[in-house]
Amino acid sequence: MQVTVIGAGGKMGTWFTKYFVRQKHRVFVYDTNKYALKKLKRLKVNLVDELKFTLMNSDIVIVCVPMNSIKRVLLQVSKYLMSDTTLIEISSIKHDVYNTLSNITHMYKLKPLCIHPLFGSGAKSMKDMKVALVPVIDGRAELRNAKNILKGASLITVDVKEHDKIIAVVLGLTHLNNIILAKIMSEERKPNRLKEIAGSTYRVQSLLTEGIMNDDPELFTSLLISNLYMKRYVRNFLETTHQLCNYILNENPRGLSKAYVKIKGKLSQQVNLEKSYETMYKVLKMLK
């Protein structure tokens, strides 16, 4: 098939370009940043300056642009597509782009795929990688199409509201936590000394923090600002942090201990904490 990747110069755009090349499709790439496309020249791809004709002849168009541009790009691209073209968007926050994709799908009779790759550009292949699929028009048909295009991916169907609510926790709060830790780590006079003396917990945490700090600033800010559910969780975060910090500043071990036991009790009803502890050490062993 003929596949056009818009935003091919970015991290995920480059990743999907390589993926479609490995799948033996005819791949056309476009990015407003022409310098970013230079790294793709060694691949068997076609660099595009004018999109109109390329879009008219594409079977699949995947849009991999920043979230603040996604709606505009979808609207611009869709008017040149033939009916039954698969139009894919991969944004991390869905509530706004979902409505746009739904409207243009009806208008131009397209095949929408509203997906969120739950992995980063460091993934080696699509095999067993989690991808969230948000149904737009016909969930079953879109799932079949996604399975055909995203070979080997582990597809998880989720509605738009649940997706954004979950992402507020699993991406929004984790990024918020880790940027705070990164700031403190960066202000230490001897940062390498931290790892030298640190035990298993810090080794795992610092690896996660440093990995997250590779994300683009635009992605970071969009995750925390654009998600409608984020404010609710941030208020909870601030309230809990304030309470726990007050126990520490007021030297109140009893209050801190009671809070810890209460939180641990609730969490243990949902997950096996002992198994998680064992898994952490297995991960550490793999990292040695």
Q: pLDDT tens for residues 64-117?
A: 999 889 999 999 999 999 999 999 999 999 999 999 999 999 999 999 999 999
* Fold classification of 2-158 (topology level): Rossmann fold (3.40.50)
- The chain-wide mean pLDDT, for the chain, equals 93
Domain chopping of the chain, boundaries: 2-158, 162-287
Q: What is the pLDDT of residue 288?
A: 65
DSSP state of 170: I
For residue 253, count other CB atoms closer than 10 A to its CB.
9
Q: What is 21-56 written as a DSSP string?
A: HHTT-EEEEE-S-HHHHGGGTTSSEEE-S-HHHHHH
Mean pLDDT across 203-223: 88
pTM of the model: 0.88
The phi, psi pair for 158, rounded to 5°, reads -150, 140
Q: What is the pLDDT of residue 194?
A: 87
Residue 269 banded pLDDT, cuts 50, 70, 90: very high
Q: Residues 28-32: contacts with CB within 8 Å, 24+ apart?
A: 28/2, 28/3, 28/4, 28/54, 28/58, 29/4, 29/5, 30/4, 30/5, 30/6, 30/54, 31/6, 31/7
Q: What is the pLDDT of residue 109?
A: 96
Q: What is the pLDDT of residue 252?
A: 97
Asked whether 112 and 101 are in contact (CB, 8 A), the reply is yes
Mean pLDDT across 230-235: 96
In this structure, which CATH number among 3.40.1260.10, 1.10.3720.10, 1.10.3660.10, 3.30.830.10 belongs to the domain 162-287? Answer: 1.10.3660.10
Instruction: Report percent pLDDT > 70 for the chain.
Output: 99
Residue 41 banded pLDDT, cuts 50, 70, 90: confident
Asked whether 110 and 87 are in contact (CB, 8 A), the reply is yes
pLDDT over 90 (residue 42): no
Mean pLDDT across 182-211: 87
Q: What is the pLDDT of residue 90?
A: 97
2-158 and 162-287: same fold? Answer: no
Amino acid occupying residue 40 = L
Least confident segment among 100-104, 144-148, 199-203, 249-253: 199-203
